[in-house]
Amino acid sequence: MMYHQMPIPTRSEHLWRYTPWPRIHPSKPETVPKADEVIFSINGPQELIAVPHSQKPQGDIARAFLQATGGSSSRIRLNDEMEAVHINARASGHVAVGHLHLEVKGSAVVFLHISGEPEWVGLHITGTIHPNAHLAFGFINELDSNTKFLRCEDWELERDSSLEHATLSVGGFRCKSDLRTSLNGTGSSVRQSITVNADGSRHDDEHVEIHHHHGHTQSDLVMNSACGGSSHFIGTGLLTIAEGANKSDASQVFRNLLLSPNARAEAIPELEVLADDVSAAHGAASAPVDNNQLHYLMSRGLDPQEAESVIVNGFLYDAFSNLTNKELLEEMRTRLTVHLECELKR
Amino acid sequence: MSDDAQEIIGDYKYGFHDPENSTIRFDKGLSEQVVRDISELKNEPQWMTDIRVKAYRHFVERVMPEWGNCSLLNMIDFENVTYFLRSSNKTENSWDDVPDDIKNTFDRLGIPEAEQKWLGGVTAQYESEAVYHSIREDLEEQGVIFLDMDSGLKQYPEIVKKYFGTVIPHSDNKFSALNTAVWSGGSFLYIPKGVHVEMPVQAYFRINAKNMGQFERTLIIADEGSSVHYVEGCTAPSYSTDSLHSAVVELIAMDGAKIRYSTVQNWSSNVYNLVTKRAIAYRNATVEWVDGNIGSKLTMKYPSVLLKGEGAHAEVISVAYAGKGQHQDTGAKVHHLAPNTTSNILSKSISKGGGRSSYRGLLQVTPKSTGCRSKVVCDALILDEDSRSDTYPTMEIGNSTADLEHEASVSKVSNDQLFYLMSRGFNEEEAMGLIVNGFFEPFTRELPMEYAVELNKLLELEMEGSIG
């Protein structure tokens, strides 16, 4: 369906329960603004090719809206890449939208940095990972702290392919992400890590769907958030294992660390299992900073603020520990360190 | 019994039905007049009639839930339900006075025998109203009030008026509105300050007629420092057409009180079981829901506790068995509304033969509730390829000092465990039965002995033929 034909989702849909569509829309839900382009640039020899916008009807209001607003649309083909590919997405103007499709036929490491100060940014990333291909993908959100940000991702994984996906979400004022991965071939696997550091009145809503359509597939999701000020973090996950997708192994872990009395966090890790011979588990935990840990560090000479900062840093780093690609792991941790140091200096 | 009937009933041992000998039976269908007629027939005070009518209007306006198993929910034909059926002209307090056919039903269910042995009080509801009611004299002397809800309204209108609908208002959801409009029967239980009811009190709900709607309303108030264990059981005959059971249960545990509410729901597989159960726990009070769901076509039931007073505690233990054609959509909701409140939720489910079990839960900590702790554990077993298990937990944390954990797992019966038991001489079916009983053990050990034994027997029946 096209955007104008779609009803506004109600809050009974858990995807829109905490960040209703009108709150993330740039103005009024019935309007479709003409968007400026998000400019993609690349640091390597790979070519970004401008492609026409997809006209495929969308099943989801956020994707249909991004399609309707236009913006830039590019594609990149990746084969066996020796060095990590850094793509910079620069957003400017009032409302900016970008579409990017990645076609992966070998092993590649890709980092996508998004920055800029528009009032509203929309980004739709799609990716096809062909049989036996492997992609390590790092997404770093460094948008201005006044920007509203809508991000949709759709990943299709073929037989024996793998995706390692890491997100560092520290930018933007109100963010809504909807990340979906389909494991379409046997032997495919996805590892996903999301680290969120929210402060002030930042609102970050991360929704992750992983669909096991075939057997012998694996998924592993870790989402860690540290919320200070009066920030609000929402982590929702939907893990489905289709009928007959036996020997699938799926896990999701959501952890929230609340650092101030006015911070809020919601965790909704959902499971739908239609096959019997599977291993599926999820866990969610929420707690303040552990007093014993604080006491231990303070007994070693750190003041309370330093001690808390060490614990929070360790907690956020830990979200990336399920990643096996070294380059991805190091880059994400470096970016996180830079962010935390900047925070500390403020 | 014909082969067709046997096929419908299957292993369900309470699927028999007795001839209908109703004294009053309303025509099928629901209208404001039906609601007023029920109220008039019961000779209710005007305020109750007004609440019923208001609730009916809300029910008509309210849309069906847009979540859960919508396709099954939308198959409910509210016009094909009998909303009131009276089987006996009064509530007896001796089994000898209960009409023979009804007594016969309860004899077959083993209720009178259980009462003599181990119960503090019994209410037996047949169709819309209670047909038998008794309470031990010593409890009555201590001021314990245990009545069917209709008698409760007649004899203690002030207490009922004060608390009715305060925990679950009629506007809470479509089915609480329906219940408030047409409620009939249920239990009214009041435990005075400091009284501990040592033996459980029990209510037994039986639907006998075809296309029957049972809408009992239960209100339990445990005054300061008191405690009670309330047990309910439910069965119905198997018909090829559907019946509707939509109860509302309100519990109020005052400061330091303790209420345990145990349910073994074993409706036949043609019953929609759409129940709203909620409790309020004040300072240092404890509310425990022990909830077993074995039967029904679709169950949607999420026992809830509002922890309103500091130090209050909630405990929810629930098990669900979803067999062929069944969807057990169950769970628990705990709202931590006061500081230093704690809760534990344990949910276990088994899906077999194409059945679907879903855990749907909510854990909420409001901004002012400091020092709250909660733990949620959901375990699901899937016994074959056609079955399904879902987990939909929600945690809303508004206070930074809250310490909450949730963990869930879905798996099949481990081959190692089966192999171990078979190496000790059990055949595969026995081994599977032992594992399943062990899986449900945290639930059965919280039930009174007779119920636990009964539940294990039921599970054995349900599990029969599950291998190969």
Measured in Å, how far apart are chain B's first and last C-alpha atoms? 28
Say whether A270 and B404 touch across the interface (CB within 8 A): no
Of B383, B387, B400, the CB nearest to A288: B400
Q: What's the pLDDT tens digit per position in B77-136?
A: 999 998 988 777 666 677 677 777 667 766 766 666 666 666 667 777 777 777 777 777
> A223 and chain B: CB distance < 8 Å anywhere?
no
CB-CB contact of B216 with B205 (8 Å): yes
> A10 and chain B: CB distance < 8 Å anywhere?
yes
Say whether A281 and B410 touch across the interface (CB within 8 A): yes
The structure's pTM equals: 0.85
Residue given tokens 């925070």 in the structure block: A343
Q: What's the pLDDT tens digit per position in A39-91?
A: 999 988 888 999 988 778 788 899 999 999 989 999 999 998 888 999 999 99
Query: CA neighbours within 13 Å on the CB side: how many for B40?
Result: 6
Instruction: For Cα atoms B165, B233, B24, give the angle at the middle one, nearest 5 degrees.
Output: 70
Q: What's the pLDDT tens digit per position in A228-270?
A: 999 999 999 999 999 999 999 999 999 999 999 889 999 999 9
Domain coordinates of chain A in residue numbers? Answer: 3-288
Query: CA neighbours within 13 Å on the CB side: how many for B441?
Result: 7
Say whether A284 and B393 touch across the interface (CB within 8 A): yes
Closest CA to A166 of A192, A201, A134: A192
> B402 and chain A: CB distance < 8 Å anywhere?
yes
* pLDDT (tens place) for every residue of chain B, 468 residues total: 444 444 444 555 566 666 666 667 788 889 999 999 999 988 999 999 999 999 999 999 999 998 889 999 999 999 999 898 877 766 667 767 777 766 776 676 666 666 666 666 777 777 777 777 777 777 888 899 988 899 899 999 999 999 999 999 999 999 999 999 999 988 999 999 999 998 888 888 777 777 788 899 999 999 999 999 998 876 666 666 788 999 999 999 999 999 999 988 888 888 899 999 999 999 999 999 999 888 889 999 999 999 999 999 999 999 899 999 999 999 999 999 999 999 999 999 999 889 999 999 999 999 999 999 999 999 999 988 889 999 999 999 999 899 999 988 888 888 898 999 999 999 988 888 888 888 888 888 777 766 676 666 666 666 655 443
> B397 and chain A: CB distance < 8 Å anywhere?
yes
State how far Cα A274 lies from the chain centre.
Answer: 26
Cβ-in-10-Å burial (0-12, 13-18, 19+) of B72 comes to middle
Q: What is the pLDDT of residue B6?
A: 45
Say whether A288 and B410 touch across the interface (CB within 8 A): no
Partners of B390 on chain A (C-beta within 8 Å) are 270-273
Distance from CA of A211 to the nearest CA of B (A): 14
Say whether A276 and B408 touch across the interface (CB within 8 A): no
Strand-strand pairing, A249-258 and A218-227: parallel
Cβ pairs A/B, distance under 8 A: 118
What does the radius of gyration of chain A's CA atoms come to, in whole angstroms?
20
> A261 and chain B: CB distance < 8 Å anywhere?
yes
Q: How many angstroms separate the CA atoms of A75 and B88, rounded?
A: 76
Q: What ipTM describes this predicted complex?
A: 0.80
What does the radius of gyration of chain B's CA atoms come to, in whole angstroms?
21
Q: Over chain A, what is the mean pLDDT?
A: 92
Partners of B397 on chain A (C-beta within 8 Å) are 256, 258, 264-267, 286
Q: What's the pLDDT tens digit per position in A278-331?
A: 989 889 999 889 899 999 999 999 999 889 989 999 999 999 998 999 999 999
Say whether B404 and A274 touch across the interface (CB within 8 A): no
